Amino acid sequence: MEILLTLTYTSLFIYIIHKMKFFDVDGISKRTFSLLFILKLIFGFSLWAIYTFYYTDRATADIYKYFDDSAVIYNTLQTNPIDYFKLLFGIGNNTPSFDHYYSEMNYWARKVDSNIYNDSHTIIRFNAAVRIFSFGYYNVHTVVICFLSLIGLTAIYKTFVTHLQDKKRELLFAVFLLPSVLFWGSGVLKEGLIFFALGLLIYYSTKLFKIKSIIACIAMALLLAFSKFYVWLAIFPSIILLLWINKTSSKKVFLKFILVVLIVGGIGLNIDSIVDIQNPLVTLSLKQNEFNQLATGQLTDSNNNPIPTANSLIQIKTLEPTFYSFFKNSPQALINTLFRPYIWELKSPLILLAGLETLLILFTSLLIFLFIKPLKEIKWTYVLFCFSFVLIQFLIIGETTPILGAIARYKTIALPFLAIGLLFLIDKEKLLKKMSFLKKILN
């Protein structure tokens, strides 16, 4: 039955791809989109197979943790439909009468004390909604998340292709075909929802002065904040800069960028004195502490079994809840996120995947150093847009995460933007003159 449902929904989404105007895109045919969707499914099914037959501890596998918890919500649809919808939409569900549902779920409650929304709720609710159509078959969820992720990635491509007309093929690779994006962005994980929300938020923010776009931006901003709050924090300055430039001009773009960073950063670092919310530096410090406990085997899984020490554990400096500590730790955080794992740290297939991407980034960076565009020809608005987003994400990840495997996964969302930013810098014509053998690949 699972195979039949999976094939049925796959066929349905391929049909939708061919019918939706959204997929009428410069540089990519509908047939290519269908192939990209199938490729994502292959990686999504591979992720399922790895965490089903190789890493067999279901209690600690992210693809199953939130999927299994969603069954608790879904089962209320038969016994108490009103409770189902309250749990699904988060309306009137914070009362003692719902505690017996939460006690049955292993990952609804968070271990770090914070009054920032627990983003695990979003992926649990997503799975609870999809169960209506999947009848509890896991790989139907894979098909749905792959389609949503494809929509988000397509929106990112559509946003930048207008400004990279001479690099359509390279842009396609940068957005859709990076190994980590294919692997982690195609599983039943938060990454698929993040790509969906992030891509549409960026796409519609370029058309913000239309009612439809305003509604879409608000909806996607909320979904993104509820899916992974630090990604929303990271993209916010970039979108403010883009709106400012689009409303005025690209003149004095660096000055505008600095002003945006100072204003947004100043407000963000003092948010606890403005509204009743935990200071982000306190949250990051607590998050690092939880990660250290997880990495060193101090926590237990949902069955109260000790979680073993992480195989890819690295040492990072203690993060105090102060800006000085954050700033002092930043160089190490950026090195860990941008350049690791090193070649001698490639101890597993998943770490190898990240290592190959690191080498690709280093190689591309070298090419840009040798073949960079004249500075006056570079579209700095989009370079700053991409690199600002990447920098904030890499800092947050590197400051809090002492596990190489987790770093490799978490930076997946930033990688397409890192690649796109590099595309804006490289002089393709100069490159092809010196390396004519690349013409068959890039043209």
129 shares a domain with 192: yes
pLDDT tens-digit readout, 253-264: 899 999 998 998
State mean pLDDT over 166-188: 93
C-alpha Rg value of the chain to the nearest Å: 22
Tokens of 318: 């203690």
388 shares a domain with 375: yes
177 shares a domain with 91: yes
Average pLDDT, the chain: 87
Domain-ending residue, one of 227, 243, 258: 227
Cα–Cα dist 242/204, whole Å: 12
175 shares a domain with 277: no
Contacts of 368 (CB under 8 A, 6+ apart): 422, 425, 426
CA 94 to chain centre: 28
- Give the range of the structural domain holding residue 47, as residue numbers without chain letter: 1-227
158 shares a domain with 56: yes
290 shares a domain with 324: yes
2: nearest Cα among 132, 140, 145: 140
Number of domains the chain contains: 2
DSSP 3-state of 278: coil
337 shares a domain with 273: yes
More confident: 422 or 433: 422
209 shares a domain with 250: no
More confident: 360 or 418: 418
128: nearest Cα among 101, 100, 92, 96: 101
127 shares a domain with 35: yes
State mean pLDDT over 173-185: 93
Instruction: Determine the pLDDT at residue 314.
Output: 86
Report whether pLDDT(126) > 90: yes
Domain-ending residue, one of 210, 227, 244: 227
Lowest average pLDDT, out of 190-194, 225-229, 277-281, goes to 277-281
Instruction: Determine the pLDDT at residue 434.
Output: 76
* pLDDT category of residue 3 using cuts at 50, 70 and 90: confident
State mean pLDDT over 327-348: 85
Cα–Cα dist 112/117, whole Å: 11
Instruction: Determine the pLDDT at residue 437.
Output: 67
Instruction: Determine the pLDDT at residue 273.
Output: 77
* pLDDT category of residue 113 using cuts at 50, 70 and 90: very low
* pLDDT category of residue 209 using cuts at 50, 70 and 90: confident
Report in angstroms the alpha-carbon separations of 441 from 26, 167, 169, 174, 177. Answer: 19, 11, 9, 14, 15
238 shares a domain with 213: no
Please, what is the end-to-end C-alpha distance for the chain in angstroms?
A: 45
DSSP for 91-158? SS--SGGGHHHHHH-SSSS-SS--SS--THHHHHHHHHHHHHHHTT-HHHHHHHHHHHHHHHHHHHHH
Bond before 416 cis per omega within 30 degrees: no
Domain-ending residue, one of 227, 256, 271: 227
Instruction: Determine the pLDDT at residue 301.
Output: 61
The Cβ of residue 52 has, within 10 Å, a number of other Cβ atoms equal to 14
86 shares a domain with 73: yes
* pLDDT category of residue 112 using cuts at 50, 70 and 90: very low
266 shares a domain with 241: yes
Lowest average pLDDT, out of 40-49, 92-101, 125-134, 239-248, goes to 92-101
Contacts of 98 (CB under 8 A, 6+ apart): 83, 86, 87
